[in-house]
Amino acid sequence: MRYTPLPADFFHSNRQRLYALLPPGSVVILHSNDVLPTNADGSMGFVQNSDLFYLSGIDQEETILVLFPDAPDPKLRELLFVRETNEHIAVWEGQKLTQEDAAKRSGIERVRWLQDFEMHLRLMMCQCAQVYLNSNEHPRAVIQTQTREMRFSQRCREEYPVHELRRLAPLMHQLRAIKQPAELSALSEAVRITEDGFRRLLRFVRPGVHEFEIEAELSHEYLRQRARGFAYHPIIASGANGCVLHYNTNHCECLDGELLLLDVAACYGNYNADLTRTIPVNGRFSPRQRQVYNAVLKVLRECRQMLRPGVILREYQEEVAKLMTSELMGLGLLDRDAVEKQDPDRPLYKKYFPHGTSHPLGLDVHDVGLTWLPVQEGMVFTIEPGIYIREEGLAVRLENNYVIGPDRNIDLMASTPIEAEEIEQLMNDR
């Protein structure tokens, strides 16, 4: 394994906290993600189901986790089913988890081969009061492929039509919202690797390099430090490309006088950092670029004071909108009279700042959580204001990751250069 596994005690604790939320007689069943095909006999890289990983630590395909904490037979209370390995699989695909390996990593004593699942499923379905099934209930999810969990849910409805089926997702969102010490350790390692990649770029970027060359530098730095790779498809956007919020072709030459917007981060141990920086390609901000840059930085600093326990994200975003509107007027982009007369449902600031400011971060880059409820201590959020001036081909976005603390927030990226002067100094001291 490339990364150091999280301790089995962490996954054991996660299961115990889930049990505290379940009514008596509950069975919980989770499936790993599919290995998705490409063309011919190709397949995409495997990414584990985040909830299954959170409860078991198993990072392998064709895995099923069954939890029945009130089972009459203690041997049925925690069961992990993994794919049986053999010499043929070892030759063609590499080493898979043994039952002993899976037990050590998960803290689950009883690990069975996948073919034993059907027998155990029938027995537990006869004994349980209700069944909790998992699904992807992220509000921004667009699901066009039927997943293993979807197929299993459909099967349960057909084969067990009078059983009470319940949603596991709300419980998992509640649990995963507050980050445990082991998670913060993995997140901090992802952040550290991300910072090293950014500092490497400050010595590398200059007029004439291409966006894909920058991507290659980052990929090398992340992989050599045992990251899984990029936490998400990297955005390496020079000049006007930075005004495309999800730009990802990364094919253009970086020109003298342009800004370079970098939304790039590493994934370590399945936990994701999320960094955005904007730097001058030639190592020096122009007066206008610095003016816009400082406006964005000012909003970020204000936001980190505002995002506190008890805050509702929707109300927080409304306050951020006021800050950004003020900065946009200062930059000459919005007229005060027009702002006073604007339609509240179509605020003018959105022309230059069309996205949200903060989202949860963790096992998923846009992590799950009950985001309509008040912010709580121990949550991790991004703060990422930006200004995009399409008519000037100029874009600035800045983003750091914060742990919500009781008295103040902890900036996980506090040591990652963000001041314009420091960025210029590091780019010219090479």
Flag whether pLDDT at 31 surpasses 80: yes
Per-residue pLDDT tens for 242-265? 999 999 999 999 999 999 999 999
Same fold, 8-177 and 181-428: no
Q: Which pLDDT score, from 0 to 100, does residue 2 have?
A: 83
Give the pTM: 0.96
Flag whether pLDDT at 240 surpasses 80: yes
Flag whether pLDDT at 78 surpasses 90: yes
Residue 294's H or E segment, with its range, is helix 287-306
Flag whether pLDDT at 299 surpasses 90: yes
Helix (H, G, I), strand (E, B) or coil at 363: coil
Flag whether pLDDT at 128 surpasses 90: yes
Distances (CA, A) of 193 to 109, 311, 393: 34, 31, 31
Q: Which pLDDT score, from 0 to 100, does residue 199 have?
A: 98
**Band of the pLDDT at 99, cuts 50, 70, 90?**
very high
Q: Are 277 and 420 in contact (CB under 8 A)?
A: no
- Quick one: CA dihedral 5, 45, 272, 316, positive or negative? negative
Assign 3-class secondary structure to 11-43: HHHHHHHHHCCCCCCEEEEEECCCCCECCCCCE
Flag whether pLDDT at 108 surpasses 90: yes
Q: Which pLDDT score, from 0 to 100, does residue 86 have?
A: 79
Range in 16-25, 78-87, 330-339, 400-409 with the lowest mean pLDDT: 78-87
Q: Which pLDDT score, from 0 to 100, does residue 367 have?
A: 98
Q: Which pLDDT score, from 0 to 100, does residue 92 have?
A: 80
CB atoms within 10 A of CB 420: 18
Domain limits of the chain? Answer: 8-177, 181-428
Flag whether pLDDT at 225 surpasses 90: yes
Q: Which pLDDT score, from 0 to 100, does residue 144 have?
A: 87
Range in 15-24, 59-68, 84-93, 217-226 with the lowest mean pLDDT: 84-93
In the block, tokens 């990422």 appear at: 384
What is the average pLDDT across 71-82? 97
Q: Are 267 and 53 in contact (CB under 8 A)?
A: no
Q: Which pLDDT score, from 0 to 100, does residue 385 have?
A: 98
Q: Which pLDDT score, from 0 to 100, does residue 120 have?
A: 97
Flag whether pLDDT at 49 surpasses 80: yes
Flag whether pLDDT at 294 surpasses 90: yes
CB atoms within 10 A of CB 40: 5
What is the average pLDDT across 371-383? 97
Burial (CB count <10 Å: 0-12, 13-18, 19+), residue 135: middle
Q: Which pLDDT score, from 0 to 100, does residue 112 have?
A: 97
Q: Which pLDDT score, from 0 to 100, does residue 94 have?
A: 81
**Band of the pLDDT at 143, cuts 50, 70, 90?**
confident
8-177: CATH homologous superfamily?
Creatinase/prolidase N-terminal domain (3.40.350.10)
Percentage of the chain modeled with pLDDT above 90: 94
- CATH architecture of the domain formed by 181-428: Alpha-Beta Complex (3.90)
Average pLDDT, the chain: 96
CB atoms within 10 A of CB 252: 17
Q: In 225-286, which ranges are continuous DSSP H helix? A: none
**Band of the pLDDT at 376, cuts 50, 70, 90?**
very high
Residues 6+ apart with CB under 8 A from 377: 178, 309, 404, 405, 406
Q: Which pLDDT score, from 0 to 100, does residue 90 have?
A: 76
